[in-house]
Amino acid sequence: MAKDERFVKQITAKSEDFSRWYLEIIRKAEMADYAPMKGIMVIRPYGYTIWENIQRLMDRRIKETGHVNAYFPLFIPESFLKKEMEHLEGFAPQVAWVTQGGQEELEERLAVRPTSEAIIGSMYAKWIQSYRDLPVLINQWANIVRWEKVTRPFLRTTEFLWQEGHTAHETMEEAQEETIKVLYMYKDFVESELAIPVIEGRKSPRERFAGAMETYAIEALMSDGKALQMGTSHNLGQHFSKVFEIRFEDREQKQQYVWQTSWGVSTRLIGALVMTHGDDSGLRMPPQVAPIQVVVVPISLGSWKENVLPVALAIEKELLEAGLRVKLDAREEFTPGWKFSEWEMRGVPLRVEVGPKDIKENRAVLVRRDVQQKDFVGLAALAPQVKKTLQQIQSSLFEQALRFQRENTRSVSDYREFKEVLESKRGFIRSWWCGDEACEDKIKEETMASIRVIPLKEEAKEDPGDCVYCRKKGRELAYFARAY
Amino acid sequence: MAKDERFVKQITAKSEDFSRWYLEIIRKAEMADYAPMKGIMVIRPYGYTIWENIQRLMDRRIKETGHVNAYFPLFIPESFLKKEMEHLEGFAPQVAWVTQGGQEELEERLAVRPTSEAIIGSMYAKWIQSYRDLPVLINQWANIVRWEKVTRPFLRTTEFLWQEGHTAHETMEEAQEETIKVLYMYKDFVESELAIPVIEGRKSPRERFAGAMETYAIEALMSDGKALQMGTSHNLGQHFSKVFEIRFEDREQKQQYVWQTSWGVSTRLIGALVMTHGDDSGLRMPPQVAPIQVVVVPISLGSWKENVLPVALAIEKELLEAGLRVKLDAREEFTPGWKFSEWEMRGVPLRVEVGPKDIKENRAVLVRRDVQQKDFVGLAALAPQVKKTLQQIQSSLFEQALRFQRENTRSVSDYREFKEVLESKRGFIRSWWCGDEACEDKIKEETMASIRVIPLKEEAKEDPGDCVYCRKKGRELAYFARAY
Q: Which of residues 28-67 of A touch B (CB under 8 A)?
A: 33, 35-37, 40-45, 47-49, 51-52
Average pLDDT over residues B46-50: 98
Output the pLDDT for position B90: 81
Residue A96 near chain B (CB below 8 Å)? yes
The answer to whether A127 faces chain B, any CB pair under 8 Å, is: yes
Q: Which residue in the set B52, B73, B95 is minimally distant from A42, CB to CB?
A: B73
> For B143-154, how does the pLDDT look when each residue is reduced to its tens digit (9 = 90+)?
999 998 889 999
pLDDT by residue (tens digit) across B365-421?
A: 999 999 999 999 999 999 999 999 999 999 999 999 999 999 999 999 999 999 999
Whether B462 shows a pLDDT value over 80: the answer reads no
Contact A71 B42 (CB under 8 A): yes
Q: Find the closest chain A residue to B112 by CA distance.
A: A98
Q: What is the pLDDT of residue B36?
A: 87
pLDDT at B212: 92
Taking 90 as the threshold, does the pLDDT of residue A349 lie above it? yes
Q: Of residues B463 and A25, which shows the higher confidence score?
A: A25
Contact residues, chain A, for B71 at CB < 8 Å: 42-43, 48, 51, 161
CB contact under 8 A, B49 and A68: yes
Mean pLDDT of B62-68: 98
Q: Which residue of A has its CA nearest to B69?
A: A45
**What is the model's pLDDT at position A87?**
74
Say whether B43 and A70 touch across the interface (CB within 8 A).
yes
Q: Which of A93, A101, A333 faces B103 most closely, judged by CB atoms?
A: A93
Mean pLDDT over A130-155 rounds to 96
Instruction: Write out the residue limits of the CATH 3.30.110.30 domain(s) in chain B.
Output: 409-481
- Chain B contact present for A150, CB below 8 A: no
3-state secondary structure chain B: CCHHHCCCCCCCCCCCCHHHHHHHHHHHCCCEEECCCCCCEEECHHHHHHHHHHHHHHHHHHHHCCCEECECCCEEEHHHHHCCHHHHHHHHHHCEEEEEECCEEEEEEEEECCCCHHHHHHHHHHHCCEHHHCCEEEEEEEEEECCCCCCECCCECCEEEEEEEEEEECCHHHHHHHHHHHHHHHHHHHHHHCCCCCEEEECCHHHCCCCCCEEEEEEEECCCCCEEEEEEEEEEECHHHHHHCCEEECCCCCEEECEEEEEEEECHHHHHHHHHHCECCECCCCCCCCCCCEEEEECCCCCHHHHCHHHHHHHHHHHHHCCCCEEECCCCCCCHHHHHHHHHHCCCCEEEEECHHHHHCCEEEEEECCCCCEEEEEHHHHHHHHHHHHHHHHHHHHHHHHHHHHHCEEECCCHHHHHHHHHHCCCEEEEEECCCHHHHHHHHHHHCCEEEEEECCCHHHCCCCECCCCCCECCEEEEEECEC
pLDDT in tens, A70-98: 999 999 999 998 887 777 788 888 999 99
What's the pLDDT at B8?
A: 54
Q: Please give the Cα distance from A270 to A277 (Å, whole number).
A: 11
pLDDT score for A423:
93
Specify the pTM: 0.96
Which residue in the set A94, A98, A119 is minimally distant from B98, CB to CB?
Answer: A98
pLDDT at B460: 57
The reply to whether residue B71 touches residue A127, judged by beta carbons under 8 angstroms, is no
**CB nearest A45 (choices: B102, B138, B145):** B138
Of chain B, the percentage scoring pLDDT greater than 90 comes to: 89
Selected residue of A30, A42, A146 to mutate for chain B interface (largest B Cβ count, 10 A): A42
Of A35, A47, A119, the CB nearest to B35: A119
Closest-CA residue of chain B to A77: B37
Cβ-based contacts of A145 with chain B (< 8 Å) = 74-75
* Residue B88 reports pLDDT greater than 80: no
Give the pLDDT of residue B11: 84
- What is the arithmetic mean of pLDDT over A312-325? 97
Residue B41 is which amino acid? M
Q: Report whether pLDDT(A2) > 50.
A: no
Q: Higher-confidence residue: B457 or B190?
A: B190
Cβ contact, residue pair A51, B44, below 8 Å: no
Chain A residues within 8 A of B97 when measuring between CB atoms: 98-101
Q: What residue of B is the nearest CA neighbor of A136? A: B45
Question: Which residues in A lie closer than 8 A to residue B32 (C-beta atoms)?
Answer: none
> Is 90 exceeded by the pLDDT of residue B187?
yes
CB contact under 8 A, B42 and A73: yes
Respond yes or no on whether ipTM tops 0.85.
yes
- Cβ contact (<8 Å) for B97 and A101? yes
State residue A301's pLDDT score.
85
pLDDT value at position A468? 96
Would you state the pLDDT for residue B9?
59
According to CATH, where is 3.30.930.10 located in chain B? 18-277
Average pLDDT across chain A, whole number = 94
pLDDT above 80: residue B5: no
What rounded mean pLDDT belongs to chain B?
A: 94
Q: What CATH homologous superfamily does A409-481 map to? A: C-terminal domain of ProRS (3.30.110.30)
- Closest Cα in chain A to B91: A102
pLDDT at B31 over 80: yes
Residues of chain B found within 8 Å of residue A60, distances taken between Cβ atoms: none
- pLDDT tens column, B340-349: 999 999 999 9
Name the minimum distance, in Å, from the CA of B45 to any CA of chain A. 5
Residues from chain A that touch B94, judged by Cβ atoms under 8 A, are 102
Residue scoring higher pLDDT (A457 or B141): B141
Kindly report the CATH number that applies to the domain delimited by B294-390.
Answer: 3.40.50.800
Fold of A18-277: BirA Bifunctional Protein; domain 2 (3.30.930)
Higher pLDDT, B39 or A275: A275
pLDDT value for A4:
43
Q: Which residues of A fall within a CB distance of 8 Å from B92?
A: 102-103
Give the pLDDT band (50/70/90) at residue A1. very low
CB atoms A73 and B145 under 8 Å: no
Residues of A in contact with B126 (CB under 8 A): 33
- Among the partner residues A73, A96, A109, nearest to B40 by beta-carbon distance: A73
Q: Is the pLDDT of residue A3 over 50?
A: no
Residues of chain B with CATH 3.40.50.800: 294-390
Percent of chain B with pLDDT over 70: 97
B7 — pLDDT class (breaks 50, 70, 90): low
Confidence of residue B302 (pLDDT cuts 50, 70, 90): confident
> What was the pLDDT predicted at B39?
84
Does residue B338 belong to the interface with chain A, where contact is any CB pair within 8 Å?
Answer: no
